[in-house]
Structure 1
Amino acid sequence: MPAERGQPLSAGCGRGLIAARAPGCPTVKNCDSDGMALITLRRNFCHISDFWIPGAVAALKIHPANHVQKIVKDRLPVWIYSLQPELFRVRFHYSYCKNFHSENGNDLHPAAEPWVSQVQEWNQPQQSLKNEDEEMLYRRLHSFISPEEVLSFIGTLDTVPVILASAALHRICELGHRNGEQSLPKGILENSIFQALCFQCERDPSHLTNASLVMTLQSLVRLSVDSQSSLVLNLMTECQSRLQRGSLEAHHLCILGESLIRFQGSGCEILELVIFQLQSENLENFTPEDIVAIYRILQACPEKLDQHQTFLNTINSFSLSMVSYLSPKSISHILTALVALDQTHALPLVIKLGKYAVRYVPRFTNEELRKVLEAFVYFGHSDRFFTEALEQHVAAQCLSMDPDVTSSVMEYCSTKRILSKPIFDAVAESFVCQSEKFSPHQISKLIGPFGKLNYLPPNASALFKKLESVLFARLRYFPPKMLLSLLHSCSLIERHPVNFMSKIFSPFFLQRLQGKESCLDRVSLAQLTQLFMTSILECAFYKGPKLLPQYQVKSFLTPCCSLETPVDLHLYKSVVTGLIDLLGSRLYFGSKVLTPYCYTLDVEIKLDEDGFVLPFTMDEDVHKRVALCIDGPQRFCSDRKHLLGKEAIKQRHLHLLGYQVVQVPYHDLELLTSRSELVEYLQRKLFSQNSPAHW
């Protein structure tokens, strides 16, 4: 029960003990002088169970008879929980309408002053009764399921202390947000009882407890109340006063900090004082909810990250011990804050949050799951158990998942090169069934990973047929670069966009693609060039426009966003050593050779017409060229012996260009234990019995 008591919200208008009586119930004229009247009143109440009189509790409390105290204490819980709002006949009068109130016809007391005339006369049992009464009022308040019920209940009370008014405001706001409303209906905001609650909190904030004060401010934030209103300004002034006195505890500071950000932004001077006091608090005083609030406060002040980084480092370390107590929502909030604050050095915390996120995958909301996935993508984190939980969740819920979450799942798989067939198959089925739900951006994020990870789902025919129909219907809504990347992804898995090649090779599309820039970016040019090569090598029936030479690149291997994966240096050195031992000299093969077809070969070996190895410097009498692909882990899907799409199309094109493609994958080389075994392995690869090559 709150320790402080505030002003009454309303004033009784000179009521005696009974303001309305039931039939057969005798009128009590003077309660203090007639003990038998109380007994008669008690007997009548035993027969009228649904009859309760506002104000009667206050009058009974001050009666000195012990047996009356016991009767009231025994009967009070039953009466309060059997209340029916429509039976209340005595409504309170708002404090701004009445300046004075009277109790039992005694002296009037100013409504602006606490009514304490009888409190000092109460003995200990009577004080306990009052505490029990308030506790029951709060429990009743939290049993309602709509703002209207709360207002109806408040309207039946004779007096509403400021603390109860604060609790009622908070409950109304809480119920409004629980129902999915961003703000309360106009009817609630204009309700006279609701306005009276606001007035009560505005008039007398000094009588609020610390908890009630900050919770009221938090409620007003959720209600989108004007930050310059007198109610908010009064509460802010009181908060600042207590803040300067250092009387706010850690939990209150966290609530206040978030409210200040919403009302006044990160530049608020009071917020700096809140953060300063938070830094001086003992970390053991923070609950998991407080830790989440601190992250959100700091997240709102990224421009001040440098001056708060030491405090943030402390919170990052302390949070490791709190992860097991965090809810799914809290885990999502912290990961989001770590991304916003660029805490790439806090990987231990990210990893531990990821471990606990595994168990919460089915419990995350769509938005929370999306934020978790975005954080994992940002930090480059992946977890096998998290992926397994995600597979089960997506397979079961894909058709009901938000399209934004579905595309985020695919982006997570794409970034970490996770070829999860359960996820890809479920997503493909979802797109075929409800393609109209996906925006162009979401479609691009959803289809791209199929090409990148070189995977065709069981319903590939239906998937790409649906994609083609969507593109025909909504082509103008796809930004040029997004459309180019999408069509390029399709070509990686031999789903060539022949019906759209004439559009993307046209001068009109190229001008749109270039936009206001002076020239096209390197990645777009490389994608256009590879699509053009595809039209020549794999789509001989295509007779549309060609890509002009000025839009073609010379090499697909670029420092960033390359269409080829650079060779693994460690594997390359190992294979080169084995080739020297096998061929007898470095002279007989070339390394990192750029071909006239834009592809770079890891190793190239030239053969004459009889299959003998020629020195690499010779260009005459070359009958066959061997392209040795030293494929490291980065050229495969994660934890799978499955080539990525860009490596598959490279080997496919090299084969069509006449090269003899020899693949040397890392998982074969890892099995070799000696240099002699490596030489024997390369000999089998290059000079097998079916191969015409000799040395």
Structure 2
Amino acid sequence: MGLEQLLLVADCWRCLDRSVPSYLGILFSYANLHWRDLTLPQFVQLLYIIGEGRRSPADLVQKVESAILKHLDAFTLEELGAICLGLFKSLSGISDHVMRRIADRVSLQMEDMSTYALVNVLKMLRYTRMDHLPFMRELGKVIPARIPATNIQGIMHIALTYSSLHFFDEDVLAAVATSLPSKVSYCRSKDAAKFLWSFGCLDYEPPNEEEFYSSLIKQLHAKLHEFSKFPEHLLTALLGLAFVKRFPEELIDFALREEFVQKTRGSKYELEKDLFTLGKSVEIECPSYRGSRLPPQLCQEFTEMVSSFAEQEIYVRPEIVEATSLLESMLGGPEYVKNHMILPHTRSSDLEVRLAADGCPIPFNFKDPMAAKKLKGMGVSLTDDLMSQLLQGRAHNRSPTEEGSEAGIPGRERGDAAGTPCSGGALPAGARSWAEPNPGRWQPREVRLALQVSNRNHFCYSSKRLLGLHCLKRRQLRLLGYVVVEIPFWEWFPLLKRTRSEKLSYLHYKVFCPALLTRAG
């Protein structure tokens, strides 16, 4: 057969929904040998078949990119959509340069492109994580009016593109939210999960938020049988809900059962961090929850895993190292500041500082080797007795997170106070979480600061709008009694190039001003 016949037969196998990897191997080898003979329609059809076969022939990748660049202006807009779909489905790597050229072309003629083809371009834009501002701005003008006539999977891919690229556009998200309830019955488990993730990731609650969330939660219940096969979708959905302070207890109980947890352990995706974030968030924000919980030993395993990553990738970041060093110098030594994750399940670090009622820093970080070395150099032996004296009684000065992680006992077994159900929001007035600080364990009027050295990845694209995970973290730190102090990257990064005295002055204001305001309140 010639190339025309090979492509036709491959498409027939696709229509019959049959996987024919050996036949596709023959087709790809033939195409590689006769590459120069491919017409543009044949090239588009070949890319489409590569996508349906879900694999990318390694020896064709470079040729595909060269052909796209060579004929970019000759492709119709619909052909560009088909090419992007093929690349996306086959998980083909594509260079930023090629994707940017495609986005350049589409952004100039977007109004003339069908929604189906445009969504296919969005899939590839999301896959390559391309921050193409002209494309996204034009999309914000074109797509809201089309959303009511778009099928549910297309709408899902639109919403997911915005969340994956951390791009907030209220007009687009509001249009999605308005159209979804009437179409929610067409959502697969994957679609419902990704809608919830997208809105939670961008920390957006639409004008019809109750209708929007209740319809999707109802659909999750309807698709509950699918989550045993696709556990990642349920965790995605529940995390998206947690970001916006919604905790449907029946679904959470299902997700934290031992049999479901075992399914997540066997998944091809790494779901441990998501499971950890969900489990610990429920402990902090849902005082009345009496359903399944993560076993203490599993939480300890997850904590060690996250901490190991943080030691290698987070604590050593220059902006954090510099802030830690300057705070130690300003406050009196490494025993006055601790660079760690107060809440390991939120996956980012904090600089913890403690202040007494008179505003004086309190030493507490005696496990830090530098702090111990400094005390030894002063002729002080760091015995358990001395530790007890310095901390005014170890049991009375431990943070609730330290106590919970060391004891390894879930809050339900510790018999903490219950409150009203948490399925619809955060803690009700007067309710207490198991992890909320017990006043007897804190020094009188002690102020604990959690300083957040933020970076661009904590915010929506080119804005100061916090992403859902970081909103959740700050909310939970406040529930635990911490005063959250932001050291935003737009202030701190420029200061890194300035003098030491300027940086110290900035940090001094950050540490002491919030504490003074808190004590005054």
Counterpart in the other structure of 2:453: 630
How far did 1:288 drift? 4.3
Q: 1:437 is matched with which residue?
A: 186
Distance (Å, rounded) in 1 between the aligned partners of 2:73 and 2:106: 10
Q: Deviations over 1:213-268 (max 9, x none)?
A: xxxxxxxxxxxxxxxxxxxxxxx5xx6xxxxxxxxxxxxx6x45533644793354
Match of 2:24 in 1: 266
1:681 match: 506
Match status 1:538 vs 2:291? no
Partner of 1:620: 391
Task: Work out the CA distance in 2 between the residues paired with 1:301 and 1:481.
Answer: 24
Partner of 2:246: 495
SS of the equivalent of 1:614 reads coil
Among candidates 332, 350, 358, match of residue 610 of structure 1? 358
Structure 2 letter corresponding to 1:514: Q
Alignment equivalent of 2:477, drawn from 654, 671, 674: 654
- Listed one character per residue, the Cα deviations across residues 181-221 of structure 1 (whole Å, up to 9, x for unaligned) are xxxxxxxxxxxxxxxxxxxxxxxxxxxxxxxxxxxxxxxxx
CA contact under 8 A between 2:199 and 2:205: conserved in structure 1? yes
Number of aligned residue pairs: give it. Answer: 428
SS at match of 2:513: coil
TM-score normalised per structure 2: 0.70
Q: Does the 8 A contact of 2:346 with 2:473 survive in 1? A: no
- Contact 2:478/2:484 (<8 A) preserved: yes
Q: Quick one: structure 1 residues 373 and 608, their matched pair in 2 at CA, closer, same or farther if it must change by over 3 Å?
A: same
1 CA distance for matches of 2:57 and 2:40?
22
| Residue number in structure 2 paired with 1:28 | none
Say which is worse superposed, 464-473 or 395-404, in terms of deviation.
464-473
Query: Which residue of structure 2 aligns with residue 326 of structure 1?
Result: 75
CA contact (8 A) 2:339 2:349 kept: yes
Partner Cα separation in structure 1 for residue 45 and residue 514 of structure 2: 70
TM-score (norm 1): 0.54
Deviation at 1:411, TM superposition (A): 1.8
Query: SS at the partner of 1:552?
Result: helix
Deviations 1:476-533 (A, max 9, x none): 344444223312221111122245444444x4xx314424x87789965544444444
1:582 to 330, 340, 364: 330
**1:655 Cα offset (Å):** 1.6
Native 8 Å contact 2:277 2:345 kept in 1:
no
Give 1:212-361 correspondences, 5 Å limit. 236=1, 255=4, 258-259=7-8, 261-262=10-11, 265-268=23-26, 272=29, 275-279=32-36, 288-289=40-41, 291-293=43-45, 295=47, 305-306=57-58, 308-309=59-60, 313-314=62-63, 316-339=65-88, 343-344=92-93, 346-361=95-110
Stretches of structure 1 that go unaligned for 5 or more consecutive residues are 1-235, 240-252
Q: Which residue number in structure 1 is paired with residue 430 of structure 2?
A: none
Question: Is the CA contact (8 Å cut-off) linking 2:201 and 2:468 kept in structure 1?
Answer: yes
| Counterpart residue number, 1:483 | 234
- Deviation (angstroms), 1:371: 2.4
Closer, same or farther in 2 for the Cα pair 1:578/1:522, shift >3 Å?
A: farther
- The separation in 1 between residues aligned to 2:462 and 2:489, in whole angstroms, is 12
In structure 2, C-alpha distance between the alignment counterparts of 1:449 and 1:631, rounded to whole Å: 21
Measure, in 2, the Cα distance between the counterparts of 1:666 and 1:275: 49
Letter paired with 1:686:
V
**Residues 557-584 of structure 1: CA deviation (Å, up to 9, x unaligned):** 739999xx94681321332343245335
Distance 1:522 1:336 in 2: 23
Q: Deviations over 1:431-465 (max 9, x none)?
A: 12322222221111111111122221122122122
Say which SS state the counterpart of residue 627 (structure 1) adopts. strand
Aligned-residue offset at 1:424:
1.4
Classify the secondary structure of the residue corresponding to 1:324: coil
Structure 1 residues 302 and 526, CA gap change in structure 2 (3 angstroms): closer
Distance 1:301 1:680 in 2: 60
1:402: which partner in 2?
151
Q: In 2, Cα distance between the equivalents of 1:547 and 1:590?
A: 27
Q: Is the CA contact 1:328–1:357 (under 8 Å) kept in the aligned structure 2?
A: yes
Q: Are residues 560 and 524 of structure 1, via their aligned partners in 2, closer, same or farther at CA, if it must alter by over 3 Å? A: farther
CA RMSD of aligned residues (A): 3.8
How much has 1:599 moved relative to structure 2? 6.8
Q: Which has the higher contact order (CA 8 A, sep 6+)?
A: 2
Task: Give the aligned partner of residue 202 of structure 2.
Answer: 453
